[in-house]
Structure 1
């Protein structure tokens, strides 16, 4: 899970991309990168850290051009400490291409082998983004003839990518001298949206992971990029689009709506905030059914993503809603912290319980989800230390029982507290008196209530259904073994199959000429 953005403007784009990445910072805090095109020259700067730390005035001045892309990086296990890879990636032929990627390729090791044996391309890193870039470059070389590139060749190249690549991917890419290309995998797993701004000098275009990045800088949200669709915006600002997949189906990642996306975004026709309110409605009905005789004095959210659901639970139960946990906003999101020990330590740094709201009360705590259980255990203990009489814990999402291989850091079953355990066993592990999970169908129905056109979802971490069709038990066993003991290079390669492409370097600044 990363955040990506691409802009074609009538004026320099470096500040626009910087501002957009700030709005997408919640999608990745490990690294940031911006690449711009000025004629036939690419300029790029990327480094470890948050956006405000990576880019200084001197860096922004070195990013001229009216076309550009950017990315914020989310660290998946095994990648956060690497200093060999960074996004965006660059390849010099054909034409010169720079690419950034949000997602995870499930067949990237096979593709890496094909790149060497068949396509005669060398992959220098353990990043699936570099593989994806080279697949796109190879298909573009096959599709184009002569020195010129047209839209038909682009569509053919993206069709070739869809044919060869498995997994999830939302792409923004620059082609030197031509413009910006963006496309989404045929299942539409990772989000991608399109926006525009009409100015006195012409139309400016933007693609991004979430609508908040578009609207937050003054652009107008136009629509979601369709699954399998490719968008090409040439250097003059003309937009071209084409469906490049044979049988595209929309299966958006439901965890985006549960946790990953900002509440003020709208993805695939679903306002995130409204979806979380509906999750609270369904969760309240479940609580009524399974805990009819359990007294609840107060409902409290774990800020911030569970707040809408908690408000609805309180309203439906007729119980007071209180904010008992207060957040230190200078600590990152615990779910995307790279190590378990770091997560555990950060919980109490991030949250503080106010004793007056807990003392002597039966408290219902609502969180958006429970993944590893580390955070939940610490929160329950904080409530007890603050004087709570009983602690009831409710999750707006179903039990996370299965690994996610499409770009979210849930790769091994042993790390998932709900895998192989009953609700009662999980309740004991996190220290709660009672535990209530959302039902899978209720979660899906909460989304369908808002957008009835959404019938299917990528919900593998809840239901174990891997929609790309290539994830087997052997595959999961292999990446789990490699993650737990990545000693050899082959193990590291296998472990990286569960990673999202594009790991960071501590400091890297490139100026690439492709004249």
Structure 2
């Protein structure tokens, strides 16, 4: 994706099913679980590189000994930073004789991350304020293990404001700013209630105080706690957590918007945001890795019992399609196949854009994440050309006009030409520069292959998505213009992004979407400026309705124009300024229909169609428009 769009996070959980001594004896290390956690996180670095956190919960620890720990970091290469530091700490303690690496008891007593429950989280810093305190896991401490809670997740709650007001109405004092804190405190509240009710019941029966914690741990109904906590949540989420006494849970939103997979064998149960990391790390077959059912919660008790139950009624399955287009690792077998299909689905539009003249067209891709779809596009173009050749040969045979010259012209010429036109030269973090100099830095992120493209060529470049268009205008098209083609065609495997996302992607401000700005520009050119105020007033009225009755008023903005008109205006808006090149630019977007045809099963498409799966999404899109019209920046989530 050429635009700097980030997914917010990825999760990894490792729950050992054997005592630590088992892993020492079989694998020669008490850190087998920690190593697996590192690998699961390493295989998901595509989901977050600005900050990470890890947590550990130890089972059956004696009174007075630490049982829950975490580390968080926003250092450069924070994943390596934290794990290298932890390994050095372990080795140092071993050298000093504080830890005996062959003794499970010694390791659990003296090393923080020798727990049976291990959690890891990767995140991009998409909020304005981002430091280590913004990293998961979040921890809620108590001197009662059954009230101590560690939580992390890949999620966004659209109604965080409503959830905060709910806490205030109870008499609580929430700390505003993150829905992570809201989720932590909501689960914590119900955990406290469950604990207190059990404590009073056992105390009133005359049970000795020293025995009460054990019985609370045995009787705690974590599934009930989770179900009560999630009743009011509106969003996309995959959330996992551990209670200090040793129960853990992993849950997924009722519509399956955010992904979560798991793997179980005799030694471990593990969860991650993607399937392939589990396949790779545990050398598992595709069939051995399962998806956590939407609206379900898997609980592993302190005694190792595993159960999965629904906490929400069944809803229509709407997994985020950007997982297929961009975020998930491309070596997942179904993702790889679908991305190739997305590229192939663009063939008709691409052939039309270069007038079917393959002999004077060059095909490439930018950025590297578009490579798989590019292979699909090239396969599709070659198939298209083969069908052309077949038809022409049949016609020539019927007419008796087939000769050597025609074979040369029909078969040996005019085939799709693939070239590596650009390559990413360095990994440059442009946020460290001042705004004024950022575009100049970005312009050097990519380098080009000189002499590959001829002046009369059409240069066709495949991108996986075009969101804001800023990088396209300020950097990529300027770079590509140096190849001096007569025309540059940028193809997006994703449709036009017209609406904000509110379920976990950094894509919330309408005014930053190039398709939205192009539509606004078309209205202005047509002299239809009153529509902006009309839609604003309609959005304001919409937010006053009950949540279940709200509709997306922003759809009205797009009704007058077809996708081709908007794409043509996008092409004008992203045309590079300050370059000598005077060629043509054309932007092509995937159709929503072709996207659905390329993906196996249902997929969420609200950022393309405006059809949000939850009431919170409808509130978000209307609020986002109000913010744009009133000149406000920031997320348009309901407050």
TM exceeds 0.5? Answer: yes
In the alignment, does 2:182 pair up with 1:131? yes
Q: Is the 8 A contact 2:278 2:289 kept in 1?
A: no
Corresponding residue number in structure 1 for 2:222: 154
SS at match of 2:423: strand
Give the CA deviation at 1:226: 1.0
Once the two structures are superposed, the pairs formed by residues 462-481 of structure 1 within 5 Å of their partners are 462-470=608-616, 471-472=618-619, 473-477=621-625
**In structure 2, which of residues 73, 76, 79 is the aligned counterpart of residue 47 of structure 1?**
73
Determine if contact 2:11/2:152 at 8 Å carries over to the other structure: yes
Q: 1:9-20 to 2 correspondence within 5 Å? A: 9=16, 10=18, 11=20, 12=31, 13-20=33-40
Partners of 2:217 and 2:245 within 8 A in 1: no
Look up the match of 1:215.
Answer: 279
Structure-1 residue corresponding to 2:101: none
1:402 equivalent to 2:499? Answer: yes
Give the Cα separation in 2 of the matches to 1:481 and 1:14: 49
Tell me the distance in 2 between the aligned counterparts of 1:115 and 1:136: 11
TM-score (norm: length of structure 1): 0.84
Correspondence for 1:112:
164
Q: Structure 1 CA distance, aligned partners of 2:221 and 2:445? A: 50
Tell me the distance in 2 between the aligned counterparts of 1:342 and 1:59. 38
Partner Cα separation in structure 2 for residue 151 and residue 309 of structure 1: 52
Q: Counterparts of 2:444 and 2:115 in 1: how far apart (Å)?
A: 41
The residue number in structure 2 matching 1:260 is 327
1:419 partnered with 2:468: no
The 2-side partners of 1:256 and 1:289 are apart by 29
Q: Higher relative contact order at CA 8 Å, sep ≥6: structure 1 or structure 2? A: 1
Which residue is 1:274 aligned to?
337
CA distance in 1, matches of 2:68, 2:463: 44
For the pair shown, the structure with the greater C-alpha radius of gyration is 2
Is 1:195–2:263 an aligned residue pair?
yes
- Tell me which moved more, 400-409 or 357-366: 357-366
Tell me, in whole angstroms, the C-alpha distance in 1 between the residues paired with 2:151 and 2:50: 18
DSSP-derived class of the 1:311 partner: helix
Instruction: Kindly tell me the number of residue pairs found equivalent between the two proteins.
Output: 473
1:314 is aligned to 378
Once the two structures are overlaid, the 10-residue window that deviates more, 151-160 or 20-29, is 151-160
- Within 5 Å, which residues of 2 pair with 1:113-512? 113-118=165-170, 120-143=171-194, 145-146=197-198, 147=213, 148-149=216-217, 153-196=221-264, 198=265, 202-220=266-284, 221-265=288-332, 271-288=334-351, 292=355, 297-318=361-382, 319-328=416-425, 330-331=427-428, 344=439, 347-360=442-455, 361-377=457-473, 378-421=475-518, 422-431=566-575, 433-447=585-599, 451=600, 454-455=601-602, 457-470=603-616, 471-472=618-619, 473-477=621-625, 484-485=632-633, 495=635, 497=637
Partner deviation per Cα, 1:124-183 (whole Å, 9 max, x = no partner): 351111111111222334456525256982222222233111111111111112232100
More helix by share: 2
1:410 alignment partner, SS class: coil
- Partner of 2:604, secondary structure, is coil
* 1:67–1:235 CA contact under 8 A, matched in 2: no
Structure 1 residues 265 and 312, CA gap change in structure 2 (3 angstroms): closer
Q: Give the SS at the match of 2:231.
A: helix
Matched, 1:91 2:140: yes
CA change 1:53–1:7 in 2 (3 A) is closer
| Offset from partner CA, 1:233-264 (integer Å, 9 cap, x none) | 23444321112211233210001111111101
1:294 to partner: Cα distance: 6.1
1:405 is paired with a residue whose SS is coil
Distance 1:338 1:162 in 2: 41
Name the CA shift for 1:102/1:462 in 2 (closer, same or farther; >3 Å): same
Note if contact 1:195-1:214 (Cα within 8 Å) is conserved in structure 2.
Answer: yes
CA deviation digits over 1:373-402, x for unaligned, max 9?
Answer: 122222222111133332111111101111
| Distance change >3 Å, CA 342–CA 159, structure 1 → 2 | farther
The answer to whether the 8 A contact 2:623-2:636 is kept is no
Q: Secondary structure at the match of 1:55?
A: helix
Closer/same/farther in 2, CA of residues 346 and 56 from structure 1, 3 Å limit: farther
User: Offset at 1:316?
Assistant: 2.0
Q: Is the 8 A contact 1:311 1:321 kept in 2?
A: no
Q: Is the 8 A contact 2:14 2:269 kept in 1?
A: yes
Structure 1 spans left out of the alignment, 5+ residues:
487-494, 500-515
**Paired residues of 1:232 and 1:240 also in contact (CA < 8 A):** yes
2:116 matched to which residue of 1?
66
> Is the 8 Å Cα contact of residues 52 and 73 (structure 2) preserved in structure 1?
yes
